Amino acid sequence: MRSELRPFRLAADLTQERLAELAGISRQAYGAIETGRSVPSTEVALRLARALGRSVEERFRLEGTGSDLVVVDAAVGGPAGGRVRLARVGGQEAAYRLDAA
């Protein structure tokens, strides 16, 4: 997962310490998330996004080419074969392949 927090933190004129305080985490934990050394839990990602007035999708994204992310067609029932994890991403239903090669 890649964080896109720094530009928005700076645009909001917040220090790492202040944004961490708003999100209810330590400055050290925030620093690790901002630099990519740590991946936040869902709860922490939601708190950080809320503190910045942004959506989680704007602030965090999965690394890679995106080839493992498949838009689900409800009429078809999703990708054929294999296990998937369903999620709503950017207002669309998506399935992330759990057994991607």
- φ and ψ at residue 46, rounded to 5 degrees: -65, -40
Domain ranges of the chain: 2-61, 64-101
Longest dimension (CA), the chain: 48
Report the mean per-residue pLDDT for the chain. Answer: 75
Contact 10, 4 (CB under 8 A): no
Tell me, which fold does domain 2-61 have in CATH? 434 Repressor (Amino-terminal Domain) (1.10.260)
- φ and ψ at residue 44, rounded to 5 degrees: -65, -40
Taking the C-alpha atoms of residue 60 and residue 49, their distance in angstroms, rounded to an integer, is 9
pTM: 0.57
pLDDT band at 75 (very low <50, low <70, confident <90, very high): very low
